Structure 1
Amino acid sequence: MQRVAVIGSGPGGLVAARYLQSESFAPVIFEQAATPGGQWSGDASCSGVWPSMRTNTSRALTQFSDLPHAPGLAIYPSNREIGDYLLRYAAQFDLTAQTRLRTAVREIRAVPGGWGVRHDAQEEVFEKVVVASGRFQRACIPEVPGLASFSGSAGVAHTFAYKDPEHYRGQRVLVAGCAISALEIASDLCMLGAARVVVCQRRQRYVLPKLMAGVPSDHRVFSRYQALAEESLPRSEFGAMLKELVVGAVGSPEQYGAPKPADSIFDAGLTLSQHYLPLVAEGRIEVRPWFDRVDGTQVSFSDGRAEPFDGILFGTGFEISLPFLSEAIRRTLNLDAQHIELYKHTFHPELPGLAFVGMWDQSGPMFPPVELQARWLAYVWGGAVASPTLEEMQLGIAQCRARRSEPQKTKMNLMALLFARAAGVEPEPERWPELQRALLFGPLAPVSFRLQGRDALPDAASRFAGEAMAFGCVQSPQFSAAELQKLRRLDSVAQPALTRTAV
């Protein structure tokens, strides 16, 4: 059996090891922390979760296809429950014994016979290596004139380091950013005793709550239909359709007292937060434009206003950090803080036997696409599906290079379909008449990709129907008039969009 080093034991590393093992490889998982789970482990050395944090992705989309959550779990579980789930997953697939905890990888380099993996002053050679160490490790704090002079008692930190709301009780806190962590932590702070909370941002995004009319938002926004529409319709038309879905469900931020976002949802952006807009409407969170100077405790905003703060938290994203890759590998990948050039986010033609899992910047649930990527990777290396040709990979790298100046964030449903098609496991709705509505308009649950193709499960249809039925996605196998109109519109724009199974 070929040995494969898997770097990281978060969701990506565990699911990669599970499928590599099923394709007759021998994975060895390297984990720097004391507990498996990556971000979900709660280990302060590598985890950005905070004590009260619950998932911002629904239960059905925060699991793998072959280990359902325990009955009775909340729709949005706690961070600890997801950490425990990953421990159960590792135990179920005998990955615990293959995991070396407290073992930080110092270097990966090409050597005769494969790849040298150096850790704790020792180097081992593996035929193959999977890098699954995560994209959200190195916090990005932008430069602000005078930031080093900030003298507030609660200090300056990134939301990655936020662990104790008591630290901010009674304090005046500025939260910089408009992504999920910024808005969720701002909400956390004002409900747990901060004296004043101000959110500053460069642009106002549209904001979705976690539930829309009782249905988890990620079941509707990240559906297969939404992915097909984004692929098939003109960008402006798809943007208008997405904006109509969002504004029709929750309204626009200015209705709550936040700034008015740009008319284009692509220019404004979209983020998720359960409590943020109602707290703005109640006056418990104030929204300001970006700040352009700090002087002691005084913060000056670009609208000319200024006020003192006791603490500043930056929810301003992350940079790619892969310090253990050799300089030669880094050059080949054209790696920098925001870019890594790979064919379908996984392979590089000049680095055979080295692969990456979960290294793209994404909105939406990670578990479904990362499982599909792991399956594709294992199937390619195991010979179950054809390996991409040299020409295909070179073209993919060229396309990566051409898009370096464009926004890098992508959506979960697009990534899930990308990997499902590559692995040959995208379900064909016409083969499942009783599930057609759910497959197109319901949640992209991981078990829906076990209906057909390699590793199909005999109970996949009943399990997927149960998950979709929980929120009304399969009340009838018949399409409504509105749904039929949507399908006809897609079909008139791109005939093959509803039937293709691979790209």
Structure 2
Amino acid sequence: MSERVAVIGAGPAGIAAARYLKGQGFAPVLFEAHDAPGGQWNRENPKSGVWPGMRTNTARMVTKLSDADYPAGTALFPRNGEVLAMLQTVAERFGLLDDARFGAEVTGLARGGAGWRLTWRDGQGEHAESFPRAVVATGRFNRPWAPEMPGLESFSGTLGVRHSFDYQGPEAWRGKRVVIAGGATSAVEIASDLAMAGAAGVHVAQRRQRYVIPKIVAGVPIEYLGLTLRAARAAETAPPDRLAADRDRFIKEIGGNPAAYGCPPADPDVEKAGVTGCPYYLDLVAEDRIAVHPWIARVEGRRVIFADGGHVEADGILMATGFRLSLPFLSDEIARTVRLSPTDMELAEFTLHPDLPGLAFLGLWPQFGPYMVALEQQARFVAYAWGGAIAMPDATKLRAALRPLSATGVPGGGHQAHVMALHFARLAGVAPPETLARRPVLDRSPVTGETFRVAGPNADPGAETRLRRDFDLFAPADASAGPAGLPRRDGSDAA
């Protein structure tokens, strides 16, 4: 009888984990609090922050698992329902839903029996069962967080104070004045949505100005400009100062100077300023359809007062201020072992702990860029190590690799999507060998799930063909790149 594995969460991470665990001879059992799979991408899920009209902000080839594709005619940036359908296709193709427990809210995970004792609650009551192994795949973005602000509780606008997690589209905000607190992706995308859909006034309050990059440049998705396999491989060996300088140049070149659009000046150091992505935001600021302010100093009734003394009378406040790690079901012992906090935890390779054999955590690190490709390779690392397809790192190696999720420990620094995906692929033994990696179709394509299906366990003969389909359409003619792997628009290799 196959060894059973409890997989907590049926979103992208849980589906990827179950798919590869099953391929290694395990019997994964998905536990999902909602009544259907998809996680964040199922907008009917109470723990989903997806709104009905939301599209992906990353291109389709990096926003999927490698066992499924989007139907012909799918836009470059798919609708959220199309992403959900892709995930469901994978789950159904591999029979992952046959033994799944839906409507099952996990209430506890602790050592028990010969492995891990899981408790959960469903419509029939409380249940408990022990499993030799368990995977925590509940996601990082389901516990909204907002900082305290003087007077916020006094806000009297008709739309009240809400978190961006609860945003359901622009309808309720048409003809209204809104203040959005935050400057990262959710803030700028919702601000753009509201400004283009009839809000009477859109005001963004931020602690610092980030650089804002588009989704596509001259017909080329940014994934083909900066998130390629070449860039990821080069990041492993580039000197840190050169890597930072190349990234700084790249971001400023494709995103421009935010101050030129009417935003406050950004820190000259991109690493300090931060980066976010949105194709409309800067143009809308330049058209005076979005007003940008410093952080909120206090709230007095409907009046929102900013740190520079300026103020607006608002109908609603949206807090696009991020999320905190939420793993309330972990036993006190597990939480202490991984040093769990509201913002961090400590694991080896972002995944395992030497003192918790048979327990893995997927998708909980803070990443810049799309998660799915890296999640899939992380799932393969766990499945192959547990199944014997690759050697399981011993406790000594795992202990030496322990570090907070906020610290990368990955060559190239940062938590950039393509670098993280290659890191997990190397751990899983599925990174393309040098002879393949240098082929233009791999070298110059974004790091996708197909990148890591051309060699190693679960190699797919059709993977390179699927890569070429998009490569022939999108790859820029100028393939030159600097030592950090980022493209140089002028074709030079100069600093």
TM-score, normalized by the shorter chain, greater than 0.5: yes
Q: Which amino acid aligns with 2:415?
A: T
Match of 2:421 among 413, 416, 425: 416
From the superposition, tell whether residues 461 and 53 of structure 1 become closer, same or farther in structure 2 (CA, over 3 Å).
same
In structure 2, the residue matched to 1:278 is: 283
Q: Secondary structure at the match of 2:75?
A: coil
* Structure 1 residues 100 and 308, CA gap change in structure 2 (3 angstroms): same
- C-alpha separation between the residues in 2 aligned to 1:488 and 1:124? 49
> SS at the partner of 2:385?
helix
Query: Contact conserved, 1:219 with 1:444, CA < 8 A, in 2?
Result: no
Equivalent in the alignment of 2:210: 205
Query: What letter corresponds to residue 57 of structure 1 in structure 2?
Result: T
Aligned pairs for 1:5-16 within 5 A: 5-16=6-17
Letter in 2 for 1:144: M
After TM superposition, give the deviation of residue 243 of structure 1 in Å: 2.6
Give runs of aligned pairs for residues 343-362 of structure 1, distance below 5 A: 343-362=348-367
Counterpart Cα distance in 2 of 1:374 and 1:228: 21
Determine if contact 1:222/1:364 at 8 Å carries over to the other structure: no
Q: Distance in 1 between matches of 2:195 and 2:17?
A: 39
Q: 1:344 to 1:172 in 2, by over 3 A?
A: same
**TM-score between the two structures when normalised by the length of structure 2:** 0.92
* Mapping for residues 171-320 of structure 1, pairs under 5 Å: 171-320=176-325
What is the CA deviation profile of residues 14-54 of structure 1, one whole-angstrom value per residue up to 9, with x for unaligned ones? 01000000000001101111221000011241100011110
Alignment: residue pair count: 478
Which residue identity lines up with residue 404 of structure 2 in the other structure? C
Q: Give the residue type in structure 1 aligned to 2:155.
A: F
Q: Which residue is equivalent to 2:390?
A: 385
Please give the alpha-carbon distance, in whole angstroms, between the structure 2 residues aligned to 1:178 and 1:32.
Answer: 31
Q: Distance in 2 between matches of 1:358 and 1:20?
A: 16
- Residue 116 of structure 1 corresponds to 117
| 1:484 shift after superposition | 7.7
User: Shift in Å at residue 191 of structure 1?
Assistant: 1.1
Judge conservation of contact 2:373–2:448 (CA < 8 Å) in 1: yes
The 1-side partners of 2:133 and 2:388 are apart by 14
Q: Does 1:464 align with 2:456?
A: no
2:454 corresponds to 1:455:
no
Letter of the aligned partner of 1:332 in structure 2? T
Aligned to 1:40: 41
Distance 1:154 1:335 in 2: 35
Taking the aligned partners of 2:452 and 2:235, their CA distance within structure 1 comes to 20
Query: How many Å apart are 1:247 and its aligned residue?
Result: 2.5
Percent identity of the aligned residues? 43
| Residue 330 of structure 2 corresponds to residue 329 of structure 1 | no
Contact 2:178 2:203 in 1 (8 A): yes
TM-aligned CA deviation for residue 228 of structure 1: 3.6
Residue 21 of structure 1 corresponds to 22
In structure 2, C-alpha distance between the alignment counterparts of 1:484 and 1:84, rounded to whole Å: 38
In 2, distance between residues paired with 1:332 and 1:326? 10
Secondary structure at the aligned position of 2:347 is classed as: coil
Measure, in 1, the Cα distance between the counterparts of 2:346 and 2:482: 39
CA shift in 2, pair 1:287/1:23, >3 Å: same
Range moving further from structure 2, 260-269 or 217-226 = 217-226
For 2:28 and 2:391, locate their aligned partners in 1 and report how far apart those are by CA, in whole Å: 21
Q: CA deviation at 1:316?
A: 1.0
> 1:235: Cα distance to partner?
3.4
- Equivalence for 2:100: 99
Is residue 7–residue 136 contact of structure 2 (8 Å, CA) maintained in 1?
Answer: yes
Give 1:161 shift: 0.5
Q: Return the alpha-carbon distance in structure 2 between the equivalents of residues 485 and 37 of structure 1.
A: 39
Residue 445 in structure 1 maps to residue 448 in structure 2: yes
State the shift of 1:487 in Å. 7.1
SS at match of 1:67: coil
SS of equivalent residue, structure 1 residue 138: coil
User: C-alpha separation between the residues in 1 aligned to 2:258 and 2:328?
Assistant: 40
Distance 1:232 1:250 in 2: 26
Whether the 8 Å CA contact 1:429–1:439 is kept in 2: the answer is no
Against the structure 1 CA distance between its residues 310 and 88, is the aligned structure 2 distance closer, same or farther, given a 3 Å change threshold?
Answer: same
The secondary structure found in structure 2 opposite 1:116 is strand
Inter-CA distance 292–230: structure 2 relative to 1 (3 Å threshold): farther
- Deviations 1:203-245 (CA, angstroms, capped at 9, x unpaired): 1111111111211123322223333444433434323212322
| SS of residue matched to 2:298 | strand
Task: Please state how far the C-alpha of 1:409 moved relative to its aligned partner.
Answer: 6.5
Check whether the contact 2:70–2:82 (CA below 8 A) recurs between aligned residues: no
Please list every run of 5 or more consecutive structure 1 residues that lacks an aligned counterpart in the other structure: 490-503
1:323 is matched by which residue type in structure 2?
A: P
2 CA distance for matches of 1:159 and 1:401?
Answer: 24
| Contact 2:211-2:273 at 8 Å conserved across structures | yes
Give the distance between the partners of 1:275 and 1:394, measured in 2 at CA: 45
SS of the aligned residue for 2:276 comes to: strand
- The alpha carbon displacement at 1:447 in A equals 0.6
| SS class of match (1:300) | strand
Find the residue that maps to 1:352 and give its secondary structure: coil
Q: Which amino acid aligns with 1:58?
A: A
Query: Which residue is equivalent to 2:404?
Result: 400
- The separation in 1 between residues aligned to 2:256 and 2:433, in whole angstroms, is 34
Aligned residue identity for 1:14:
I
Q: 1:469 to 1:203 in 2, by over 3 A?
A: same
Whether 1:363 and 2:368 are equivalent positions in the alignment is yes
**CA 1:416–1:96: 2 relative to 1, 3 Å:** same
Instruction: Tell me how far apart the structure 1 counterparts of residues 90 and 67 of structure 2 sit (CA, whole Å).
Output: 9
| Secondary structure at the counterpart of residue 287 of structure 1 | strand
Read off the aligned partner of 1:400 and give its amino acid letter.
Answer: P
